[in-house]
Amino acid sequence: MRQAVSLAAGMLLGAVLANCAHTSRSARLPDPVEQSPHYYRVLVDNKRVRVLEYHLKPGEKEPMHSHPEGVVSYFSAAKFRTTFPDGRVTELTATAGETIWRDAVAHASENIGSTEAHALAVELKQVCR
C-alpha cells in the first residue's frame, strides 16, 4: 500500500513538473505586451489572471509571440491571418460579441480585414509560474 501511495505521489509530482517545464518552454517566446505595447494594454495583472485589451488596425502585423490558455472576447468583427512556429498558416474571422476559449498558443498575427480588431483577452496563470 505504501509503495502505491509513493508511486501515485511521484506520478503527480512528475505531471506537475512536466507542466511547468512545458510552460517555461513556451515562455521563451516573447511576451506580446513587452514586444508590442502599442497593440496591448494591461487592465489587470495578479497571481491568477492577466487581462489584456487588444487593438490591431487593418494591415498591422504582430511578430511571433505566445499566450497562455484563456478566453478572448471580440468587441469588433475582424479577420486575421495567423502563422504558427511550424510555418502553418490559417485565417480566422471573428464576429463582434463572439467569445472563444483559446488554448496556450504561439503565433504571429496579421489583420487582413478592413476593420480594426478590438478584443479583450483573459490569460490564465498557472501555479508554477
Residue 129 lies in a domain: no
Q: What is the pLDDT of residues 20-78, one digit of tens each?
A: 444 443 547 899 999 999 999 999 999 999 999 999 999 999 999 999 999 999 999 99
Residue 47 lies in a domain: yes
Residue 102 lies in a domain: yes
- What is the distance between the alpha carbons of residues 65 and 28, in angstroms, rounded to a whole number? 9
When divided into structural domains, the chain yields a total of: 1
What are the φ/ψ torsions at residue 111 (nearest 5 degrees)?
-80, 105
- What pTM, to 2 d.p., does this model score? 0.76
Q: What is the mean pLDDT of the chain?
A: 84
Please report, for the domain that includes residue 34, its CATH number. 2.60.120.10
Distance of CA 68 to the CA centre of its chain: 4
CB 100 within 8 A of CB 78: no
What are the grid coordinates assigned to 10, written together? 511521484
Whole domain around residue 6: which residue ranges?
Answer: 2-124
Using the predicted structure, report yes or no on whether residue 109 has a pLDDT greater than 70: yes
